Each structure stands twice: as C-alpha cells, then as structure tokens.
Amino acid sequence: MSDHADGGTEERPRYTGVICDLDGTVYRSGRPFPGVVEALERLRAAGVRVLFVSNNPLQNAEAYATKLSALGIPVTPDDVLTSGAVMASWLREHTPNARVLLLGEESLREELAQVGVKVVHRGLEADVVVASFDRTFTYDKWLEAFRALRAGARFVATNPDPTCPVEGGEIPDCGGIIAALEATSGRRVEAVAGKPSSLMLAAALARLGKGPDEVVVVGDRPGTDLALGHQGGVDTALVLTGVTTPSESEHVDPRPVYVLGSLAELPSVVLGR
C-alpha cells in the first residue's frame, strides 16, 4: 500500500482499478510520455491494479508485456488485454468448432489457433467471418468474405477503428474492412471485440476482478476509450497527449469525469491526494 498517509492511517484509493489505453496515453512512437513510468509505479505501490487495453490485434499480450517492460513498466501478460484475445474468447464461447474465415494477419491467426479455432480460406466453407486489421487485405479475400456472408456466415470483428495511428500519420484499420463488407454483403457486423464494445469492458472488469464503480477508464480517444467507460457506467479520464487537443476536449460529449494533461497526473485522481 501507499505510504502517503495522514496521521499514520492508510487512505483508500478513490479507484482500485485502472483500464488504460496504450498508444497516445502511455507512449508515442515507442517512448513513454514524461512522468508516466513514475505515475504507474506510484499507483501500483498504492495497491491499484492497472490493466492495459489495446484495440490492436497485431500484437498479443506477451508482446505488449515485453514492450512495456522494456520501457521501464514491468508487467506480465495478465496485465494486458487485446481485441484479438477478446475475439478469441468470444469465438470459443459462442461458436465452438466453427470454421472461421479470417481477414487478418498471421499473429491473430496464431492467437485464434491457440484456443482451438479452425481457420479456413474459402468463403463457402466458413461459419464465421472475422474482420480485423489486415495489411494483406486483397480483392480475393474480400470476395471470399462476401461469399461467406451471403451464404449466411456470422459476421464479427476485432475492432471498429477506421484508422490506426503510426509515426507520421495514420493508416487504414479494421473499420474500413468492416465498411466494405457491410456495403457489399448487405449484412451488419454483429459483434465487435475491441473498445468501445461491451465485450471488451466485461472482459476487462473480469480480468481486474472489479465492479464498474471501482474502476476508471483512461485514454486519448473519446470515440473508443471514453465510450468504453460511458456505455458501462464507468468513470473516464481523457488525456491530452494523443489525438484530442485541449480545444477539442472542451466539446467532447459525453463529458469525461476528468481531463488530464497526461497520464502522469492520474495518481492525483485515482488516489485522491
């Protein structure tokens, strides 16, 4: 527990769990923002559990844990939750033994295989189409997915993001692939694993072992990070180190409970001191 106590009496943190975005919140271009490493250390010293959550399905929890540890933030894979992992769990629970047509990359294919998901390549063999971030997306893949959906396959996706931030700008993400499939097949995606879906929030709360009133969601994107909290009645904190500027933050609706210059300010919110 924290040694920041009054008169020798330990104070209970305002929140005992944090659901924390990564890119634009903890780091940018592989470098942590100033004061973030120290802030996270302070939270952990106070007994606050921090779960890092990412919509990027290209890296699994082990890869993120290695990356964060190299940045001076020691974590285990259990401290990380990705859209790929949530998708794999959903498939295992809701479509056991289903054949999956994956519009995604090898890292996600491997993650699905680890939980016994069988991936096929022909649309008419598929029971489920999984759309994901796919830098190898081609017309042939699109066609096979189209055929599968027209034949009645279920339609799910890892994340709704239209673009993905990279150094120097953005690149197309899973949201574009979802839009292409919806426009051509006449179908609508029925489940999305990543933020701001209820699937991601439920998985995050279960991993933390916390209720909604014990946790705060922190991130830089109103449409995904803050929406994750809003839809589940969880308090939210917007940081201004990512895509949202100070002037834009004044018009965010619904309003976050907190607006922070950076994640370095989070201990004052979470610990209430």
Question: Is 60 a known ligand-binding residue?
Answer: no
Question: Is 54 a known ligand-binding residue?
Answer: yes
Bridge partners of 23? 27
Same fold flag, 17-55+195-270 and 93-192: yes
Is 23 one of the catalytic residues?
Answer: yes
Is 78 one of the catalytic residues?
Answer: no
Picking from 32, 107, 35, 17, the residue whose alpha carbon sits closest to that of residue 69 is 32
Question: Is 55 a known ligand-binding residue?
Answer: yes
Query: What is the per-residue pLDDT for 10?
Result: 54
Question: Is 235 a known ligand-binding residue?
Answer: no
Taking the C-alpha atoms of residue 131 and residue 69, their distance in angstroms, rounded to an integer, is 30
Q: To 5 degrees, how large is the angle CA 21–CA 22–CA 26?
A: 105
Taking the C-alpha atoms of residue 38 and residue 262, their distance in angstroms, rounded to an integer, is 12
Domain residue limits, the chain: 17-55+195-270, 93-192
- Give one DSSP letter per residue of 178-241, joined into a string: HHHHHHHH-----EE-STTSHHHHHHHHHHHT--GGGEEEEES-IIIIIHHHHTTT-EEEEETT
CATH 3.40.50.1000 for the 93-192 domain, yes or no: yes
Taking the C-alpha atoms of residue 28 and residue 46, their distance in angstroms, rounded to an integer, is 26
Contact 201, 232 (CB under 8 A): yes
Q: Which of 6, 23, 134, 253 is catalytic?
A: 23
Picking from 59, 151, 73, the residue whose alpha carbon sits closest to that of residue 104 is 59
pLDDT in tens, the chain (273 residues): 333 334 344 568 999 999 999 999 999 888 999 999 999 999 999 999 999 999 999 999 999 999 999 999 999 999 999 999 999 999 999 999 999 999 999 999 999 999 999 999 999 999 999 999 999 999 999 999 999 999 999 999 999 999 987 778 889 999 999 999 999 999 999 999 999 999 999 999 999 999 999 999 999 999 999 999 999 999 999 999 998 999 999 999 999 999 999 999 999 999 986
Q: Which of 21, 134, 173, 235 is catalytic?
A: 21
- Category of 72 on φ-ψ map: left (φ > 0), alpha (ψ -120 to 50) or beta: left
Which one-letter amino acid corresponds to residue 254?
P
Contact 130, 103 (CB under 8 A): yes
Taking the C-alpha atoms of residue 233 and residue 156, their distance in angstroms, rounded to an integer, is 24
CATH architecture under which domain 17-55+195-270 falls: 3-Layer(aba) Sandwich (3.40)
Query: What is the per-residue pLDDT for 34?
Result: 98
Query: What is the per-residue pLDDT for 11?
Result: 62
